[in-house]
Amino acid sequence: MVRFELLHTSGRSRRGRLHTPHGTVQTPVFMPVGTAGAVKALRARDLLDLDAEMILGNTYHLFLRPGHELVRDLGGLHRFVSWPRAMLTDSGGFQVLSLSERRRISEEGVEFRSHLDGRALRFTPESVMETELALGADVVMALDECPPSLSDRAYHETSLARTTRWARRCRDAWRADSGSSLFGIVQGGLHEDLRRRSAEEICSLDLPGYALGGYAVGEEPRAMHDGVRFSAPLLPADLPRYLMGVGTLDDLVHAVDAGIDMFDCVLPTRCARNALLFLRTGRGRMNLRNASLARDERPPDEACGCHTCRNHSRAYLRHLFVAKEITGATLATLHNLHTYLRLMADMREAIEQDRWEAFRTAFFAARETPDAAGTAS
Amino acid sequence: MVRFELLHTSGRSRRGRLHTPHGTVQTPVFMPVGTAGAVKALRARDLLDLDAEMILGNTYHLFLRPGHELVRDLGGLHRFVSWPRAMLTDSGGFQVLSLSERRRISEEGVEFRSHLDGRALRFTPESVMETELALGADVVMALDECPPSLSDRAYHETSLARTTRWARRCRDAWRADSGSSLFGIVQGGLHEDLRRRSAEEICSLDLPGYALGGYAVGEEPRAMHDGVRFSAPLLPADLPRYLMGVGTLDDLVHAVDAGIDMFDCVLPTRCARNALLFLRTGRGRMNLRNASLARDERPPDEACGCHTCRNHSRAYLRHLFVAKEITGATLATLHNLHTYLRLMADMREAIEQDRWEAFRTAFFAARETPDAAGTAS
């Protein structure tokens, strides 16, 4: 079972520790996404070198390939992917709705067809619990429905009521002897009263942690930031608060400012494979395919101490992407994850030292200053 | 300039050192192929971890992208790709003939069209020297023509005469102040008298090293082994002997037995990306896509101490390839290169300790023993 320890607050921001069967995780934490048993383009060793303390696996992908029963029979997901530290699995509900075909939601669960081979499949709260417990992550998420933010209010209302009933069924199907801790997910879109209702219902289930779902699914960033700022305090102060699927570096600072403890997002890894680097300063991003970098010998981010920036030039990285070399994806992924994890470490330190407000102000000021290095966006 | 030091012989096999401007290379050496400025799926750091002492860059690929002038302006290939150790570039002649379109060979050189964008280009001995010296590897290869082994004798005769004239032009175009050492290439197919003639002509150019080209281009392995055994002693005993583009693990042992000092081949890296692992024992290879590996928790090669075999199971590697995860290519490449480099180290030790014949016998005996681990081929 996981246990959360709140160490310090600075403003609304929180510095804590999540104790898990696979080690203690310093929060606020960003979890790199290891979709199908690998953070794409990296080895487990690279994630240890980056000092990632917790990673995420996607239940939908692992259910399809290699299958949760195989993973269970081989000793669980940690062992299968050789990851010794903490791990969380989502419920697969989000991927079912975003990736699969011919999906149909009913009270019982979701029927869908695999995006890989079209076979007809079904997720129910009970089946998802079985799948996640077979994978055996330290934290497992309840099956929820995550409607687009801008769905109409009536749909959000219907959906969150069902998400509550599913969460209850997940709790009933979860097994206390499993070693996995179940987190519930609050929905409700951008409607404050629905978020409040969902939080009351979900948080009454007496779970060891809670998540905010349904953000960064179509709304403007500002609306998301305001929504998270409203919703975060609805979750119990003594338990970990996880904002699912978010976001940019700016989003992370906004959400920590609102009192969030845990994050995951494919953005740093997916963008890296598309030659987009995230920077801490200036305009915030660098497209490595940009022709202006062809003879630029500077490191991608001159202020960065990652493997990529210590060893390689913009010109070389641009060449790797132009030449379609796999190595480019690896080097860009290392940089982006380093930048994300380093930001989390800096935020943790600022909270500990009670200078969160100064940190936050300086962070956004640096973002708005044109980069002296003249990085291209 | 490079300098070769022959330390010891055992039978015909040779233990030496190649001193280069970027460090000393222990021979016999296998050079991983870094086609377009990267050994595919690896970082420079990985090659240092594997203790590769010399790598190869392909002049044809680097000429097309990013261009040798750009590399020269950014300080040369070592600096561009952040590789601090020794490096060799081929002449590009082989790739022009195997990859490009509408090629036409004349006394002057080779006209061809880029396989990337169809633009008309020309390599001459002089232009290739300019390109290679701009890249600035420690060893640069003369432009040669490498006909298929089984071309008719008359063609081999005409071709090797031209290769000699081109080698002379390369030597004349090479610059003594360049820091790069020029190696000549002996051709002649499987015809012993032509090999002898080519060796006499090429070795009269007074170069610091010589290569055998024209092997592993269509002939049976046995014919190649016999050819190399005949040709190796035609090269000066006090200079490094490089067998280009060879080969399998078995080929390396055969060629070291014939007195070869240097090798390069895309086989370990290319096969790795196609899910094929090379093993030291048994049937010698493992197809990681094989369904029989789906639940196999053993390391790919139980006798191997590489990063991949120490940390990951056959089941996990199979999953990565089935799920098309980039990480699979990286892990398989690390294993195959480790296996190649480890074999070279073992051969060096056997020669030093004057037990080459016993080593060679044991190596081939192990290859013929069905693998106790039951590895699938």
pLDDT tens profile A37-90: 999 999 999 999 999 999 999 999 999 999 999 999 999 999 999 999 999 999
Which residue has 């903490």 as its token pair? A86
Take residue B375 and report the two structure tokens written for it.
């590895």
Q: Residue B374: its pLDDT value, please?
A: 44
Take residue B205 and report the two structure tokens written for it.
């150019």
Closest partner CB to B326 (pick from A313, A319, A326): A326
Whether residue A295 lies within 8 A of chain B, CB to CB, comes out as yes
Asked if residue A124 lies in contact with residue A170, where contact means CB atoms within 8 angstroms, the answer is: no
Q: Residue A283: its pLDDT value, please?
A: 78
Across chain A, what does the average pLDDT equal?
A: 95
The vertex-A185 CA angle with A184 and A188, nearest 5°, equals: 145
Strand partners, B184: B210
Contacts of B294 in chain A (CB under 8 A): 66, 70
Q: Measured in whole angstroms, how far is the alpha carbon of residue B25 from the centre of its chain?
A: 15
Q: What are phi and psi of B20, to 5 degrees?
A: -130, 165
Q: Give dist(CA B132, CA B76) in Å, integer.
A: 10
Residues 6+ apart with CB under 8 A from B278: B248, B249, B267, B268, B271, B284, B285, B335, B336, B339, B340
Provide the whole-model pTM: 0.97
Q: Give dist(CA B264, CA B94) in Å, integer.
A: 13
- For B3-265, CATH gives 3.20.20.105
Instruction: Decide the pairing of beta strands A120-123 and A110-113.
Output: antiparallel
Three-state SS at A264: strand
**Interface with B, mutate which of A63, A269, A296, A330 (most B CBs under 10 A):** A330
Q: What is the pLDDT along chain B (377 residues), one digit of tens a residue?
A: 999 999 999 999 999 999 999 999 999 999 999 999 999 999 999 999 999 999 999 999 999 999 999 999 999 999 999 999 999 999 998 998 888 778 899 999 999 999 899 999 999 999 999 999 999 999 999 999 999 999 999 999 999 999 999 999 999 999 999 999 999 999 999 999 999 999 999 999 999 999 999 999 999 999 999 999 999 999 999 999 999 999 999 999 999 999 999 999 999 999 999 999 999 887 799 999 999 999 999 999 998 999 999 999 999 999 999 999 999 999 999 999 999 999 999 999 999 999 999 999 999 999 887 654 444 44
Across A297-305, average pLDDT: 95
The vertex-B348 CA angle with B345 and B352, nearest 5°, equals: 140
What are the strands of the beta sheet with A33-34, ordered from one edge? A29-31, A262-264, A241-243, A210-212, A181-186, A139-141, A86-89, A54-57, A33-34
Contacts of B325 in chain A (CB under 8 A): 36-38, 40
Three-state SS at B181: strand
Domain coordinates of chain B in residue numbers?
A: 3-265, 272-368
- CA distance readout (Å), B277 to A377, B26, B308, B312: 41, 25, 11, 14
Which residue has 């190595």 as its token pair? A327
| Cβ neighbours around B242 below 10 Å, total | 26
Distance from CA of A126 to the nearest CA of B (A): 26
Q: Is the peptide bond before A109 cis (omega within 30 degrees of 0)?
A: no
ipTM over 0.90: yes
Whether residue B74 lies within 8 A of chain A, CB to CB, comes out as yes
- Closest residue in B to A67 (Cα–Cα): B319
| Cβ neighbours around A98 below 10 Å, total | 12
Whether residue A312 lies within 8 A of chain B, CB to CB, comes out as yes
Determine whether the interchain pair B295/A38 forms a contact, defined as Cβ–Cβ distance below 8 Å.
Answer: no
pLDDT at A376 over 60: no
**Interface with B, mutate which of A48, A289, A297, A319 (most B CBs under 10 A):** A319
Whether residue A310 lies within 8 A of chain B, CB to CB, comes out as no
Whether residue B67 lies within 8 A of chain A, CB to CB, comes out as no
- Closest residue in B to A44 (Cα–Cα): B311
Q: Is A299 left (phi over 0), alpha (psi -120 to 50) or beta?
A: beta
Asked if residue B58 lies in contact with residue B36, where contact means CB atoms within 8 angstroms, the answer is: yes
Take residue B132 and report the two structure tokens written for it.
């290679």
Whether residue B220 lies within 8 A of chain A, CB to CB, comes out as no
DSSP tag of B217:
S
- A17-21, A346-350, B115-119: which range is least confident on average? B115-119
**DSSP labels for B96-158?**
HHHH-EEEEE-SS-EEEE-TTT--EEEE-HHHHHHHHHHHT-SEEEPP-----TTS-HHHHHH
**DSSP labels for A203-231?**
HTT--S-EEE-S-SSSS-HHHHHHHHHHH
Q: Measured in whole angstroms, how far is the alpha carbon of residue B221 from the centre of its chain?
A: 16
DSSP tag of A22:
T
Q: Give dist(CA B67, CA B110) in Å, integer.
A: 18
DSSP tag of B53:
-
Q: Among residues A251, A257, A264, A371, which one is catalytic?
A: A264
Cα pseudo-dihedral B267, B273, B278, B279, rounded to 10: 160
Q: Residue B368: its pLDDT value, please?
A: 83
| Cβ neighbours around A25 below 10 Å, total | 26
Maximal CA-CA distance, chain A: 60
A90 is catalytic: yes
Three-state SS at B368: helix
Across A152-177, average pLDDT: 97
Whether residue B316 lies within 8 A of chain A, CB to CB, comes out as yes
Residues 6+ apart with CB under 8 A from A338: A50, A304, A305, A306, A307, A308
Q: Residue B97: its pLDDT value, please?
A: 83
